Amino acid sequence: MEYMEGIIYPDSMLPGVAPSKRRAIYFSTAKTLAAIHRVDVNAIGLQKYGRRDNYCKRQVERWEKQYLASTGEGKPARYQRMLDLARWLKENVPEEDSSAGAGTGLVHGDFRADNLVFHPTEDRVIGVIDWELSTLGNQMCDVAYSCLPYIIDATLSERTSYGGFQHTGIPDGIPQLEEYLSVYCSFSARPWPAANWKFYVAFSLFRGASIYAGVYHRWTMGNASGGERAKFAGRIANTMVDCACDFINREHVLQKQPSMGFQVSAAPWQEFGREQEGSISTKDQGKFVPSEKVMHLRKKLMKFIEDHIYPMESEFYKLAQSTSRWTIHPEEETLKALAKKEGLWNLFIPLDSAARARKLLFEDGSLVSPGSSNDLLLGAGLTNLEYGYLCEIMGRSVWAPQIFNCAAPDTGNMEVLLRYGTKEQQKQWLVPLLEGKIRSGFAMTEPQVASSDATNIECSISRQGDFYVINGRKWWTSGAMDPRCKILILMGKTDFSAPKHKQQSMILVDINTPGVQIKRPLLVFGFDDAPHGHAEIVFENVRVPVTNILLGEGRGFEIAQGRLGPGRLHHCMRLIGAAERGMGLMVERALSRTAFGKRIAQHGSFLSDLAKCRIELEQARLLVLEAADQLDRHGNKKARGILAMAKVAAPNMALKVLDMAMQVHGAAGVSTDTVLSHLWATARTLRIADGPDEVHLGTIAKLELQRARL
Ligand SMILES: Cc1cc2nc3c(=O)[nH]c(=O)nc-3n(C[C@H](O)[C@H](O)[C@H](O)COP(=O)(O)OP(=O)(O)OC[C@H]3O[C@@H](n4cnc5c(N)ncnc54)[C@H](O)[C@@H]3O)c2cc1C
């Protein structure tokens, strides 16, 4: 046991808690119970903690005895229906109770809302208290007991009705009983409990009644621990008995199968796992089967995002919509430190680029980055294909990539410095970028010319002695509004008279150089993407040292090719993740919302649209993985056709899936109350940014025609 700082929700209706949080709280409760039930008691030395078999039989006898001891002559009145109930229970103990096999193990014994401690800011259980009644035995008793709020409201107070959610209506956001049970079944790998549900619920009410009868008895003697509220315990005890008797007499208590379009199969845990991972698995053999190492990182990333980033999203948005929007949320830096500690850092760096930087920067031992191992700074030694499986996960939240130091445009800029930077340029700019201490921008696009054709760029870079002087206007320089942005890679012309593809150069510009004027942040469908932003910037007689040129004058196109290949693919990978998130939210909504008498998930039109989304998503994923594989094996130039295909397919697919997800959410979908609209807006820009669709389609068609001519 240890002290845990957290929240306890004493009322299972969760008054004052937002609906989305209520849902998360209930699902976390179900997962926690499943986790307790999955504990291998032998492995932790608890095999002798109790007898596993005949748990219910023994429990009914024990609680009947307790009841008899708390009621009768000279004590509170004994209720005949309670004794009838005990008899019914003894006669109806499920057969499975007599064995010590599946479904038996660690039992908490008092698993209810106010025995759970939740994280102070995230909706997940961090502690389970009050293990006084724990033992080994039939775990379905815990499950039914945890479902009692649906059947009865047993809070101690003076009321006439004690109906549970099934009587009063489910508070907004709290899942249906069926959903709650499905989550439990999925996470515990237990079959759907319909067969003996009547018994387990009746037993839970019986046990509750016996406990309350004891509380009431102690109150009559003046020593109840619950204070004055204990005076209501007698009445609740009898209400529980009545409720159990009614329950037993009901024809239907739980659907035979979980409906709502999902089936709990023989191995629901595995099913759930597969769903969570999309089509990715290491179990099979084939071309796109990630290694154990990659799968390990993937799971770690997923957990990190679920545990640390999803719960912070609304906080990040709140700051980004406030008057302090252009500042960094302190938690962002904390999470970066945590990600680094967990080895989830700079994963985008391809093997070959890491090798060059390692040689230039670290081999002579002159440069050791304080607090971080050099190997960590240069990523995990992954190929583009391997990174594909990970980058996808980061795409699920617009806030995630930067936490792992894998956000655009920093990744592309680091890639340029890794591949083409001199030792001095690397020391000055690459190292702090790798460490996540500064951020960067890429300034190519100009408002006055069609910038999808970079030969149009007009910004001039002219040499004057030991300096280059830069004049021009750029816009959509992403990340330049970020207070941590210190360096820009600028593309401009060093020689207007040279052959078309030799006029351009790239140069490093310290954002604080005199003459760099940030004019305004641009908005994407109203999103300014604070605190990073997309800036319009004027460069007026900006003087930078000649040593800031990258690779040499006239080499801008050469660098652009190197920068854009992996960078483009990273966008595609993230779009797969954004679409996966959309799918998840869409399904969750469709399963929980009722329109015209049935769940949205039960309407035929939804099912066919959902299936089509899944088909398109899987198609796009395969294309993206294939492109990454070809990039690894053949390089940028040879892989340009498939890269172009992925770049067209991924945003179009993501837009379709996210649009459908928004549709299922109704008006909420187009609001900023869900992440969908922001993910959609970002996906829409990627039909333009990093080259419009038409340019990529042109590349694909050109290659196709060339092939026909060969
Ligand atoms: C959110 C966002 C972030 C961005 N971040 C950056 C950044 O960090 N740095 C940066 O430099 N730029 C950035 N950009 C700019 C982006 O790269 C350019 O918008 C893109 O290259 C297109 O250039 P353009 O806007 O000048 O469109 P134009 O070149 O004017 O093209 C407009 C349209 O013309 C059509 N077209 C163009 N070429 C063809 C063709 N060959 N065949 C048929 N039709 C064609 C297409 O429909 C195209 O959409 C960003 C843009 C957005 C929206």
Q: Could you read off the pLDDT of 144-170 as tens digits, one per residue?
A: 999 999 999 877 666 666 778 878 788
Query: Per-residue pLDDT averaged across 547-560, rounded?
Result: 95
Q: Give the residue among 580, 622, 497 at the shortest CA–CA distance from 275.
A: 580
pLDDT of residue 284: 57
Structure tokens at 170: 């489910």
Ligand 1: which of 511, 688, 693, 699 to mutate, most ligand atoms within 8 Å of CB? 688
Phi, psi of 693 (to 5 degrees): -45, -45
Contact 244, 79 (CB under 8 A): no
CA of 396 relative to ligand 1 center, distance in Å: 24
Handedness of CA 549, 558, 407, 662 (dihedral sign): positive
**Ligand 1 pocket member 478 (CB < 6 A):** yes
Q: Could you read off the pLDDT of 615-639 as tens digits, one per residue?
A: 999 999 999 999 999 999 888 889 9
b/e sequence 562-595, b meaning 16+ C-beta within 10 Å? bbbbbbbbbbbbbbbbbbbbbbebbbbbbbbeee
CA atoms of 29 and 424, how far apart (whole Å)? 54
CA of 689 relative to ligand 1 center, distance in Å: 5
Structure tokens at 537: 């910037």
pLDDT of residue 369: 58
**What is the chain's length?**
710
Residue the block writes with tokens 């039914």: 144
Q: What's the distance, CA 232 to chain centroid?
A: 44
**Ligand 1 pocket member 476 (CB < 6 A):** yes
Query: Per-residue pLDDT averaged across 36-51, rounded?
Result: 89
Dihedral, 601, 604, 606, 607 alpha carbons, nearest 10:
80
Q: How many other C-beta atoms are found inside a 10 Å radius of the C-beta of residue 249? A: 8
Q: Could you read off the pLDDT of 562-619 as tens digits, one per residue?
A: 767 788 999 999 999 999 999 999 998 998 888 998 889 999 899 999 999 999 999 9
Query: Per-residue pLDDT averaged across 651-668, rounded?
Result: 97
The DSSP letter of residue 404 is T
The backbone region for 465, taken as left when phi is positive above 0, alpha when psi lies in -120 to 50, beta otherwise, is left
On the question of pLDDT at 662 being above 90, the answer is yes
Ligand 1: which of 410, 415, 444, 445 to mutate, most ligand atoms within 8 Å of CB? 445
CA of 226 relative to ligand 1 center, distance in Å: 68
- How large is the C-alpha radius of gyration of the chain? 31
On the question of a cis peptide bond just before residue 409, with omega within 30 degrees of 0, the verdict is yes
What are the helix and strand counts (H, E) for the chain? Answer: 26, 13
CA atoms of 122 and 6, how far apart (whole Å)? 10
Closest C-alpha residue for ligand 1 atom 24: 451
CA distances from 465 to 468, 469, 508 (A): 8, 10, 17
Q: How many other C-beta atoms are found inside a 10 Å radius of the C-beta of residue 119? A: 17
Q: Relative to the CA of 453, which ligand 1 atom is closest?
A: 29
On the question of a cis peptide bond just before residue 531, with omega within 30 degrees of 0, the verdict is yes
Of 213-227, 373-387, 510-524, give the range with the top mean pLDDT: 510-524
Query: Per-residue pLDDT averaged across 297-307, rounded?
Result: 91
Contact 459, 446 (CB under 8 A): yes
SS3 labels along 212-266: HHHHHHHHHCCCCCCHHHHHHHHHHHHHHHHHHHHHHHCCCCCCCCCCCCCCCCC
Q: Could you read off the pLDDT of 234-292 as tens digits, one per residue?
A: 999 999 999 999 999 998 888 877 654 333 333 322 333 333 444 555 555 667 888 88
Q: How many other C-beta atoms are found inside a 10 Å radius of the C-beta of residue 288? A: 17
Beta partners for residue 537, in sequence order: 474, 518
Contact 489, 443 (CB under 8 A): yes
pLDDT of residue 262: 37
Dihedral, 261, 262, 265, 271 alpha carbons, nearest 10:
140
Q: How many other C-beta atoms are found inside a 10 Å radius of the C-beta of residue 117? A: 17
Q: Give the residue among 219, 175, 177 at the shortest CA–CA distance from 201.
A: 177
**Ligand 1 pocket member 409 (CB < 6 A):** yes
For residue 492, the surrounding DSSP H or E stretch is strand 485-493
Could you give the 3-state DSSP secondary structure of residue 684? helix
CA atoms of 147 and 162, how far apart (whole Å)? 15
Q: pTM to 2 decimals? A: 0.68
Query: Per-residue pLDDT averaged across 351-360, rounded?
Result: 80
Q: What's the distance, CA 584 to chain centroid?
A: 10
pLDDT of residue 287: 75
> Domains plus CATH for the chain?
19-258 (3.90.1200.10), 557-709 (1.20.140.10)
pLDDT of residue 276: 43
Q: How many other C-beta atoms are found inside a 10 Å radius of the C-beta of residue 596? A: 7
CA of 688 relative to ligand 1 center, distance in Å: 5
Could you give the 3-state DSSP secondary structure of residue 650? helix
Beta partners for residue 40, in sequence order: none
CA atoms of 28 and 640, how far apart (whole Å)? 45
CA atoms of 362 and 347, how far apart (whole Å)? 18
pLDDT of residue 265: 34
Query: Per-residue pLDDT averaged across 422-451, rounded?
Result: 96
CA of 188 relative to ligand 1 center, distance in Å: 50
Ligand 1: which of 452, 477, 523, 524 to mutate, most ligand atoms within 8 Å of CB? 452
Closest C-alpha residue for ligand 1 atom 25: 451
Beta partners for residue 478, in sequence order: 534
pLDDT of residue 267: 30
pLDDT of residue 367: 63
Q: Could you read off the pLDDT of 198-237 as tens digits, one per residue?
A: 999 999 999 999 999 999 999 999 887 767 788 888 999 9
CA of 294 relative to ligand 1 center, distance in Å: 34
Q: Relative to the CA of 446, which ligand 1 atom is closest?
A: 26
Structure tokens at 432: 């702090």
Contact 468, 462 (CB under 8 A): yes
On the question of pLDDT at 655 being above 70, the answer is yes
E strand segments, 254-335: none
CA atoms of 36 and 143, how far apart (whole Å)? 11
Q: Relative to the CA of 687, which ligand 1 atom is closest?
A: 49
Could you give the 3-state DSSP secondary structure of residue 301? helix
Handedness of CA 272, 275, 277, 283 (dihedral sign): positive
Q: Give the residue among 389, 433, 393 at the shortest CA–CA distance from 304.
A: 393
Rounded to the nearest integer, the mean pLDDT of the chain is: 90
**Ligand 1 pocket member 451 (CB < 6 A):** yes
pLDDT of residue 272: 32
pLDDT of residue 263: 36
Q: Could you read off the pLDDT of 171-191 as tens digits, one per residue?
A: 888 998 988 998 888 788 788
Beta partners for residue 545, in sequence order: 467
